[in-house]
Amino acid sequence: MRVKNMDSNKIENKNKKVRLWLAPIIHFGLKSKAFEFLESLSYFLTSGMSILEALNSLYEETGSWRMRRVIGRILDDIESGMSLSQSFEKQGFFSGSVIEIIRSGELSGKLADNLKLIIILNDEDNKLKARLSSSLLYGTIIIVITIVVGVGTAWFVLPNIASVYSEIGADLPYLTRVLISFGNFMVNFGYVVVPLFFITLVIIFYFLFSFPKTKFVGHLFLFHLPMVNRLIKESEITRFGYLLGRITETGMPINKAFEIMPGTTTFNNYKKLYRYLGEKILEGIPISDALKSYKKTRKLIPASVLLMISSAEKSGKLSETFIRISELYGARLENTSRNLPVIIEPILLLLVGIGVALFVLATMMPIYNLTNIIK
């Protein structure tokens, strides 16, 4: 019997891992509905409903069959004696930070308030991502158009130019010979090279910015780009201040708040900082002293923020100060995100211009020298 129990436990653990890995695929497209579900749940709980009554009402009201299945599983878990946070953790539906805030609400008796907090934090995070996306959108569009036009020209236009000049049969300028060689290469191997190029590009981006074990390389690269570095730092400090301010407002201990923080960022250097701060605060060290003792703090947190936190600890106004930090750096982030396209635009136009100039020179030089070529 004991061996059977051990085997069944192994199978259950394996199934749990599979569910967690498949969760992003299973729940694809349900993120917005999930936060709508949490918002409605917080309203029902605030009105005095029990958790089971609220979930049953939401189960009946939802029009999405996929969301109905999720709520149905949560209902089954709650009826079997699980807490809401345990059920969410089992589903693999929400991030660790969301589950920790819900668990804290269950322990403190402020579940409805903490659910509202999750909605507020999600809205702020979406606004922050929208700012970053809009600031980088112009540059991304220019780069994509340049790649598409460049590949299209190399594949369809260069072969025609190459055939015209090869029929002339005279010595051509070096730049033109390179262009012709590239055109011939694209005719012969373009159907293989172009797909491989885009696949390689996707793989490189995946390993640099998405794959957990290697994305630190991409982050390191971004942190060495002057304006992008500033944009990342301001966005992280805005999130840092807002999250800590709102979380500590609910009465959650600061060490618990820092347990949540690593799950709110994708950058490993900030994750390490938050973990370090959480450990030091558990030892009884103030936040400002813990920040000063971390070797890379100055690269991640500006001196002005350190001073504000130190002053807030002395005055006892920590949550208000964190909110003030988020407002201050949110305004700076908005300015930076507006200025970034203005800085990127001339650089991109210069690179595109150089490429166009080389192409024009390579195609026009033989024409200007046509008399000598014919002789």
Flag whether 112 is in a domain.
Answer: no
Structure tokens at 327: 């407002």
| 251 and 350 assigned to the same domain | yes
Q: 129 and 59 share a domain?
A: no
Burial class (CB in 10 A: 0-12, 13-18, 19+), 373: middle
pLDDT confidence of residue 31: 59
Q: What is the CATH number of the domain that holds 159?
A: 1.20.81.30
Same domain, 185 and 270: yes
Shared-domain flag, residues 27 and 135: no
109 part of a folded domain:
no
Report the Cα–Cα distance between both ends of the chain, in Å, rounded.
97
What integer pLDDT is reported at residue 182 of this predicted model? 76
- Mark whether 155 and 75 lie in a shared domain: no
**Cα distance between residue 36 and residue 38, in whole Å:** 5
- Cα(329)–Cα(116) distance, integer angstroms: 24
Give the domain range for residue 71: 2-94
Q: How many domains does the chain have?
A: 2
Q: Which residues of the chain have pLDDT under 70?
A: 1-32, 128, 132, 135-136, 154, 158-159, 161-172, 366-375
- 78-88 confidence digits (pLDDT tens): 888 888 888 88
- The pLDDT, as a whole number, for residue 6 is 42
Question: How high is the pLDDT of residue 59?
Answer: 84
Same domain, residue pair 312 and 236: yes
pLDDT at position 1 is: 42
Residues 114-173: tens digit of each pLDDT: 888 888 777 777 776 777 677 667 777 777 777 777 777 767 776 676 666 666 665 667
Residue 324's pLDDT is what?
92
| 125/66 same-domain check | no
> Which pLDDT score, from 0 to 100, does residue 17 have?
47
Does some domain include residue 100?
no
The backbone torsions φ and ψ at residue 58, rounded to the nearest 5 degrees and listed phi first, read -65, -35
pTM for this model (two decimals): 0.68
Q: Are residues 135 and 41 in the same domain?
A: no
Q: Position of tokens 């982050």?
A: 219
Structure confidence at residue 19 (pLDDT) = 45
